[in-house]
Amino acid sequence: MKRLVQFFIIFFLFSVPANAACDFMIKIGEKGTKVFEKFAIPLPGFKGMWYLPVQSPEVCPNDNLNENIAVEYVFLGDKHEQAKLAAIRIIVLNDGNNTENNKLTLMNYAKKVYGDFDTGQNPEIFNSYNIWENGQSIVIYKRMLDANDLIEEEIMITNLEYDKKLGLFFNEIEAEAEGFDKKE
């Protein structure tokens, strides 16, 4: 009888799929060398910012995320070789009909990996965000309807240091766009 119980315990442990989060390969604040070697050189964005979009199954093979969800690495630095990871975004690619958004795939992933949050009685009409803060880490889940009735849905992962750096970076861009000189 003991052997039968042991067999079932071992069988159960090895047959249940793992609930691991995505393997992003690098941490916030690190250079992107590993991901550049595996995927590609990042694309330039604003001066001093670099983006590397990757299909989510390549980074999250066991998380039920599909080709309609992308992972975007966001780097800050003058040259991509020296740029450091400032944020990771997991973004639902909207087809114009909210098809993937209505499946709640990213919302379910966020709840599974980062923790449950209140979406009301009908999660399909959730139109807000949730923030998880753990030590230096910040994770933001956003699902909001835009003016064209399209759902903008994403998870952004960063830390306190790079959240501040990103804020300063975008404030400078906004000031330049409005014609203000940052030295004034």
Position 3 scores a pLDDT of: 52
pLDDT in tens, the chain (184 residues): 555 444 444 433 333 334 457 999 999 999 999 999 999 999 999 999 999 999 999 999 988 899 999 999 999 999 999 999 999 999 999 999 999 999 999 999 999 999 999 999 999 999 999 999 999 999 999 999 999 999 999 999 999 999 999 999 999 999 888 886 555 4
Report the alpha-carbon distance of residue 56 to residue 63 in Å, rounded.
9
Position 7 scores a pLDDT of: 43
Inter-residue contact 158 to 28 (CB < 8 Å): yes
* Cβ within 8 Å of residue 95, ≥6 positions away: 68
Position 176 scores a pLDDT of: 87
User: What DSSP character marks residue 31?
Assistant: B
Domain limits of the chain? Answer: 21-177
Position 101 scores a pLDDT of: 96
Inter-residue contact 65 to 105 (CB < 8 Å): yes
Position 181 scores a pLDDT of: 55
Position 44 scores a pLDDT of: 97
List the one residue out of 31, 168, 95 whose CA is nearest residue 52.
Answer: 31
Position 2 scores a pLDDT of: 53
